């Protein structure tokens, strides 16, 4: 609805001859999905939410012309209390720490000048003019930044492998496939701050010795593709990309490649096959991309959110990043809060925050007052975490110990009405659909698991079926070719771990 609000604003501002004093800036997503469309009036910082074209008209006439705040569209807190500046008072906003999304919702993504005004390309300048590639890698290693695409692999170490891998032609790839259902952090960064990715990729390319880069972005993100294209042209024009960047002898350029909607193409080896024009299927590792990547050359691949953290780390130094998070999982992470929670949307928080803080304080708890039962983290590769474990800190190791993962940052909150067998079936249906078919355990096994789950949820299963389901899940996990099959059984295994009684109730009560 934002477009129609903007149209009215433009028309009204012109009508009242305010165009010289009032500037409309179209930004990327501000994160609060349940409140959109949103408009913030600066410099006072008044936050209007749930806007309509009529609301926009009223705000121009009252707020902009007469300086009177329109209460009707302000944020309403507990018991309907009006909060004009929720950014300062409401935990959903005030508890966030924005590193990867530092410019999203603030700058105009189509303006390179606005990016530069917020320290954009300063890190690139510092890296190219004051640091050797090895020093850049050292800073990233010291920061402890770990891959935000799911696996949590240390970014600096991966860069070092690519740097040390012999070869004069190397590639730097950005993974913007973002296939996890419910995840939209990468989209928000690309749409809201595309220059941060260009700057980070150029720094990474300098560090590993790459001359060519690719952003692999899914076709379902047309706005991201459009804004990235504009940003790439601006970066070339300003000398941040192309031949002899910033007058140095380092040259690097980036091309966009558009994916065609296959989840498996987010897996790094499948993604590289897809860029090469081949069928997007994974292959056995090793060799890893750092040794043999795109067209057999040493390559480095990073997720969008990982890359978005790089420029401020280089600019402010590794200890700056380490002021947030835990020893082993430093920094911040963007999560997509969804499901049975009051405040849905994107939030960037320090790692190590507890699930309880995330779901109750930031998320605002249940919207209906029903009892929250669990949270499903990490999308189709993840698992459920029951409410009694909500004091667990959100970091890579802690969630893994509970049978779930941080993954790309999806968090779906479930309440007492949700059947955990249905939840497992929902995610498994997705992986069955998205299995590429190359390896047998994933192709045949996940289908078989789905059939058993279907039988159980229809009240036609037996206790033996539950046993077969569990055995099959473990076999698929151990024997699949890539991460898709290796993690597909996780939702089933984790619901079996904590909610076996619900499986048994289905088979015993025939419901
Ligand atoms: N990583 C992403 O960044 N985006 C994706 O959409 C994505 N999809 C994946 C899908 C599957 C089935 C698997 C197994 C992995 C996927 N990954 C995805 C992880 C990538 O293979 C790779 O680990 C990641 O891009 C590395 O970047 P990082 O170290 O910055 O996280």
Q: What is the pLDDT of residues 10-67, one digit of tens each?
A: 999 999 999 999 999 999 998 888 899 999 999 888 999 999 999 999 999 999 999 9
Shortest-distance Cα residue to atom 24 of ligand 1? 149
Model pLDDT, residue 434: 97
CA angle 48, 68, 15 (to 5 degrees): 85
pLDDT value at residue 81: 85
DSSP state of 17: T
Residue 84: what pLDDT? 80
Would you state the pLDDT for residue 491?
A: 96
Q: What is the dihedral of CA 436, 437, 440, 441, to 10 degrees?
A: 30
* pLDDT for the residue 326: 96
d(CA 198, CA 215): 9
Question: Which residues are CB-contacts of 403 (< 8 A; sequence separation ≥ 6)?
Answer: 383, 490, 493, 494, 497, 498
Would the CB of 418 count as within 6 Å of ligand 1?
A: no
Residues shown for the chain: 511
Q: Is 325 in the pocket of ligand 1 (CB under 6 A)?
A: no
CA distance 316 to 139: 10
Q: Which atom of ligand 1 is nearest to the CA of 146?
A: 29
Distance 182 CA to ligand 1 centre (A): 15
Provide the pLDDT for residue 91.
87
Mapped onto helix, strand or coil, the DSSP state of residue 278 is: coil
pLDDT (tens digit per residue) in 395-406: 999 999 999 999
pTM: 0.96
- The predicted structure's pLDDT at residue 181: 86
Per-residue b or e along 348-371, where b marks 16 or more CB atoms closer than 10 Å to that residue's CB? bbbbbbbbbbbbbbbbbbbbeeee
Q: Which protein residue's CA is at the shortest distance from atom 13 of ligand 1?
A: 267
Best of 100, 149, 378, 443 for a ligand 1 pocket test (most atoms within 8 Å of beta carbon): 149
Ligand 1 atom having least distance to the Cα of 483: 14
Residue 41 is predicted with a pLDDT of 93
Please list the ranges in the chain whose pLDDT falls under 50. none
């Amino acid at each position: 609805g934002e477009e129609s609000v903007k149209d009215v604003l433009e028309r009204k501002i012109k009508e009242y001859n305010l165009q010289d004093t009032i500037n409309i800036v179209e930004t990327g997503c501000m994160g609060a999905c349940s409140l959109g469309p949103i408009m913030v009036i600066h410099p006072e910082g008044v936050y209007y939410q749930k806007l309509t074209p009529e609301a926009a008209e009223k705000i121009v006439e009252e707020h902009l012309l007469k300086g009177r705040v329109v209460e009707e569209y302000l944020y309403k807190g507990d018991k309907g209390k009006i909060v004009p500046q929720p950014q300062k008072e409401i935990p959903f906003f005030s508890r966030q720490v924005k590193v990867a999304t530092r410019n999203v919702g603030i700058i105009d993504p189509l303006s390179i000048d606005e990016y530069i005004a917020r320290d954009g390309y300063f890190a690139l300048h510092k890296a190219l003019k004051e640091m050797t590639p090895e020093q850049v890698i050292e800073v990233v290693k010291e920061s402890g930044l770990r891959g935000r695409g799911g696996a949590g692999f240390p970014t600096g170490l991966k860069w070092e492998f690519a740097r040390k891998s012999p070869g004069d032609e190397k590639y730097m790839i950005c993974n913007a496939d973002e296939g996890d259902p419910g995840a939209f952090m990468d989209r928000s960064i690309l749409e809201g701050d595309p220059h941060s990715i260009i700057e980070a990729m150029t720094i990474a390319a300098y560090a590993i010795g790459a001359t060519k880069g690719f952003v692999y972005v899914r076709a379902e993100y047309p706005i991201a593709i459009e804004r990235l294209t504009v940003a790439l042209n601006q970066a070339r024009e300003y000398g941040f990309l192309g031949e002899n960047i910033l007058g140095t002898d380092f040259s690097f350029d980036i091309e966009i490649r558009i994916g065609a909607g296959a989840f498996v193409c987010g897996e790094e080896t499948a993604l590289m096959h897809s860029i090469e024009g081949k069928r997007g299927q994974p292959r056995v590792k090793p060799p890893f991309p750092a040794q043999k990547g795109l067209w057999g050359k040493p390559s480095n691949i990073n997720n969008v959110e990982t890359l978005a953290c790089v420029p401020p780390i280089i600019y402010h130094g590794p200890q700056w990043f380490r002021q947030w998070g835990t020893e082993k999982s430093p920094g911040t992470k963007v999560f997509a809060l969804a499901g049975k929670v009051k405040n849905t949307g994107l939030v960037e928080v320090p790692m190590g925050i507890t699930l309880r803080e995330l779901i109750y304080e930031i998320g605002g708890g249940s919207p209906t007052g029903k009892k929250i039962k669990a949270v499903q983290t990490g999308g189709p590769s993840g698992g459920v975490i029951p409410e009694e474990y909500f004091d667990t800190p959100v970091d890579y190791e802690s969630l893994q110990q509970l049978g779930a993962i941080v993954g790309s940052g999806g968090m779906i909150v479930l309440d007492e009405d949700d059947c955990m067998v249905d939840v497992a079936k929902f995610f498994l249906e997705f992986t069955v659909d998205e299995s590429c078919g190359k390896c047998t355990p994933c192709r045949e096994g996940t289908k078989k698991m789905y059939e058993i789950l279907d039988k159980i949820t229809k009240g036609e299963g037996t206790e033996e079926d539950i046993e077969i389901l569990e055995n099959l899940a473990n076999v698929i996990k151990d024997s699949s070719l890539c991460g898709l099959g290796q993690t597909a059984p996780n939702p089933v295994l984790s619901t079996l771990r904590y909610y076996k009684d619900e499986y048994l109730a289905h088979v015993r009560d025939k419901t």
